[in-house]
Amino acid sequence: MSTVSISAADVNKLRQQTGSGMMDCKKALTEANGDFEKAIEILRLKGAKISASRADRETKEGAVVTKISADGKTGVILGLSCETDFVARGEGFIAFAESCAEIGLNNNIANVDALKEAKTGNQTIGEAIIEQVGKIGEKLDIAQYALLSGEAVVAYIHSNKKNGALIALNQASTDAILAAGKQVGMQIVSMNPVSLDKSDVSEDIVRRELDLAKEKAKQDGKPENMLEKIAMGALEKFYKEATLLNQEFIMDGTKKVSQMLDGVSKGLTVTAFKKVTLG
């Protein structure tokens, strides 16, 4: 039994340091016999226990955030997931997501695993996530993350904050190029391309599309000697619908995305993109 007196000022100090509830802070300080560092560790362990107990919970809510470097040539996109929309809309939740993205950008971190190992203060981001679980009482996770570089990098986040895209372009920023990049971001979120261009579609997807087309043609009673030609035609249709540069531009159906970009600036194109969707 602790004999140390825990004052309201001590509890408030720990609350300011950790963001945990007043009663949780008082209990942690009492258990730690007034040792602040030990109390912080107790609160982190509480978060880990909550995280483990909620491991099977679905995290269909959350927020997508982006950060772009000062020179406009590197950017990150991050999707922080949670269980409820109430938490997703909270200022603290958004601020935490943005702080993680900032660390990713500043340290040129390429993937989720490396980001979770990165330091934020005296702990890793992975540990900070567990701590946040303890504060909020919901399962949280960095669901998706990417780093892109190019002559210009542009971000687009949909109004629901649950869908976003990061686009790398091959020409330096101008107002017109940035505006075109935003439009491409809208295209990506709306039309969900599977790849940038025909050459980027995986062999597995190509094989699947050809097999599906041949099977459908068989079921439609097409002759065996026509199946390959029919399947190739179906594959070309797939490329037009599912590869970004070949899609019809959503704001002008008379142009492909590649044609729209070239019209903004000769030779302008997308070199890479990443879409993040939560839920």
State percent of the chain over pLDDT 90. 77
Q: For the segment 229-256, what is each residue's pLDDT rounded down to a tens digit?
A: 999 999 999 999 999 999 999 999 999 9
Q: Is the dihedral of CA 135, 158, 109, 154 positive or negative?
A: negative
Residues linked to residue 195 through DSSP beta bridges, in sequence order: 243
Residue ranges of alpha helices (H) inside 192-268 are 203-219, 227-242, 257-264
Level-2 CATH architecture, domain 8-53: Orthogonal Bundle (1.10)
Q: Which two tokens stand for residue 209?
A: 């599309």
Q: For the segment 258-279, what is each residue's pLDDT rounded down to a tens digit?
A: 999 999 999 999 999 999 999 8
Residue type, 111: N
Nearest alpha-carbon partner for 239 in 226, 230, 248 = 248
- 57-149 CATH pick, 1.10.3720.10, 3.30.70.3000, 3.30.750.24, 3.30.479.20: 3.30.479.20
- Decide: pTM greater than 0.75: yes
Q: What is the domain partition of the chain in residue ranges?
A: 8-53, 57-149
Q: How far apart are CA 101 and CA 58, in angstroms?
A: 23
Q: For the segment 117-159, what is each residue's pLDDT rounded down to a tens digit?
A: 999 999 999 999 998 998 888 999 999 999 999 999 999 999 9
∠ CA 198-110-57, nearest 5°, is 95
Please give the torsion angle defined by the CA atoms of residues 10, 12, 16 and 22, in that order, rounded to the nearest 10 degrees: 120
Residue 1 is predicted with a pLDDT of: 42
